[in-house]
Structure 1
Amino acid sequence: MKQTTKTFIYGIALGILGIVLFSSKAVMVKLAYQYKVHAISILLLRMLFSLPFYIIIAYLYRNQNTGTTVKNKDYAWIVFFGFVGYYLASYFDFVGLTYIKASLERIILFLYPTVVILLNRFFLKQPITKIQMGAIALTYLGIVIAFWHEVAMSGNDTYIGGFFILLSAITYASYLVGSGWLIPKFGVMKFTAYAMIISCVCVFVHYSIMSHDDLFGFSWEVYVLGFLIAVFATVIPSFLVSASIKMISSSNFAIVAGVGPISTIILASVFLSEKLTILQFFGALVVIAGIMLVSLNKPKVKE
């Protein structure tokens, strides 16, 4: 399909907007923590406000036919990946943010493409090219640079936060690897909606069992931030990113995605007064360079 310059520019603009909105999530979560709210509580609000949108999407696409037979075990796998990819990954991310800066969170979370490649190698026996190996090494070098300097400044809590964010990256990467064969069966919209609904249920169960917070006892700022996280850092950017990939291709979007850590660093500086040292910023650039090499060094496919 021919692609006009106007369409390409529009696709890039949508991609950048989507990535910036996604990046704002960590900043808004950190703002919510200033009101003494727990990780599971702000995650619950995110899911509560997101749920109606995904129920509507699931209803609208309920009769979508992808031309493949969907079996009962496929629905069981959706439950599993909804639990792993959206519930666990989100929960680990929100817990990690109680310990580390939003800007450092985004840098670590940006590792998930390298985890996807490593999981594909170990479980699906897909080969890793020399360029990819070099890019992965470069990426983790950047993490070590940014992370080590933060430990020196902020102490051992950085280890705890970094561990949870790494778990988030690993669980999200596992979701991407495992769900790849399910998406063609259900379609992107239906699969995403179903997985998100399952995730919402998991969060509701977790909150009802483990949380001692009063759902109606938060300050109004917490509810506003929960709504903003749900709509502007979850639902809207998910559609913007999908539209961007469709218009400019996944390879070009990999370049656009490099805006993510930088936008988080800027937003965290403006709204949270977070500052990265020159050495940490250099580490972030190294991570971005490595991820772009990993993402772009893929077999050629017809788009």
Structure 2
Amino acid sequence: MRLKNNFTYGVLLGILGIVLFSSKAVMVKLVYRYDVDAISALLLRMLFSFPFYILIAYYYRNENKEITNTRKDYLWIFFFGFVGYYLASFFDFVGLTYIKASLERIILFIYPTIVLLFNKLFFKQPINKKQRLAIFITYLGIVITFGSEVSISGSNTYLGGFFVLLSAITYASYLVGSGWLIPKFGVMRFTAFAMLISCICVFIHFGITSNVNIFSFSWQVYALGFLIAVFATVIPSFLVSISIKLINSSNFAIVAGVGPISTIILATIFLNETVTMLQVGGIIIVISGILLISKSKKK
């Protein structure tokens, strides 16, 4: 009975974490209504997140301390923090300046298929027939959804979609490459370190490229920045970690299917975004492909 309760608890935490993560795109679009550029919005997210991850890194400083970490291990953490959190976030924020929040979530949601392709390319892990079918189904859904949106919103959708695709690729590379580092540092310590590196990269990026006065925005922008940092970054990162621990990654991948749906609902409520029936069909196809991949993994 306790195992069953833990599984239910893990599923509920996973759903809550995914819904909170999905709210990021909606809140970023709300920030853009105040004429805030992508790097400034990303800076606010990282500024408000930074103190939390410092505290987390300190609290879990002794996690997996029995394992000796080398200088090379820390260099790899820097690399994956740079690629997986800094670049992926930056590309995503830029993409959101051109496309709807609901479309952004659908494109990002293809990262499990990219993980499969990277594992095949770099680690020679075979892709079985069911996984190949899932990849085909997923990208078919993307083409349907994306093509329908281009006819509505115009050619800028191509540029926005390209940046969000880059975000999915960089995030997938982080997932593929960091798997062997997490056991060395522990989930919490590794995540905190990677996020702190990402924050510092954003601070440097903003300092070099931007002339924007970060203190010149309205209070609503800072409020949204705080909400993005706390409720769409810090809290869901731990909810997802706990959920994966309780129900395993394969089951969590199935739970993550609520992501695009929750984004569409939130975008409809807060952004008045509309979704055509053709796009709904594409969304269902994408989710079907991800579920097929999830079922093809070993439990």
CA RMSD of aligned residues (A): 1.1
Aligned in 2, Cα 1:298/1:3: closer, same or farther, shift over 3 Å? farther
Q: CA deviation at 1:242?
A: 1.2
- In the other structure, the counterpart of 2:220 is 221
The 2-side partners of 1:187 and 1:114 are apart by: 25
Q: Which runs of 5+ in 1 are unaligned?
A: none
- In the other structure, the counterpart of 1:112 is 111
Q: CA deviation at 1:241?
A: 1.0
- In the other structure, the counterpart of 2:13 is 14
- In the other structure, the counterpart of 1:52 is 51
- In the other structure, the counterpart of 1:78 is 77
- In the other structure, the counterpart of 2:256 is 257
- In the other structure, the counterpart of 1:151 is 150
2:144–2:279: 8 Å Cα contact kept in structure 1?
A: yes
The 2-side partners of 1:224 and 1:237 are apart by: 18
2:116–2:127: 8 Å Cα contact kept in structure 1?
A: yes
- In the other structure, the counterpart of 2:275 is 276
Q: CA deviation at 1:38?
A: 0.5
User: Which residue identity lines up with residue 256 of structure 1 in the other structure?
Assistant: V
2:250–2:298: 8 Å Cα contact kept in structure 1?
A: no
Is 1:26 the counterpart of 2:25 in the alignment?
A: yes
1:35-46 to structure 2, matched below 5 A, reads 35-46=34-45
Is 1:199 the counterpart of 2:183 in the alignment?
A: no
Q: Which runs of 5+ in 2 are unaligned?
A: none
Q: CA deviation at 1:66?
A: 5.3
SS in 2 for 1:98: coil
Cα deviation digits, residues 107-166 of structure 1 (max 9, x gap): 000010100000000011000000000000000000000000111111100000000000
Q: Percent identity?
A: 72
2:22–2:260: 8 Å Cα contact kept in structure 1?
A: yes
Q: CA deviation at 1:29?
A: 0.1
The 1-side partners of 2:287 and 2:243 are apart by: 19
The 1-side partners of 2:159 and 2:298 are apart by: 37
User: Which residue identity lines up with residue 29 of structure 1 in the other structure?
Assistant: V
Q: CA deviation at 1:70?
A: 1.0
Q: CA deviation at 1:3?
A: 4.9
SS in 1 for 2:28: helix
The 2-side partners of 1:64 and 1:271 are apart by: 40
- In the other structure, the counterpart of 1:92 is 91
- In the other structure, the counterpart of 2:122 is 123
SS in 2 for 1:217: coil
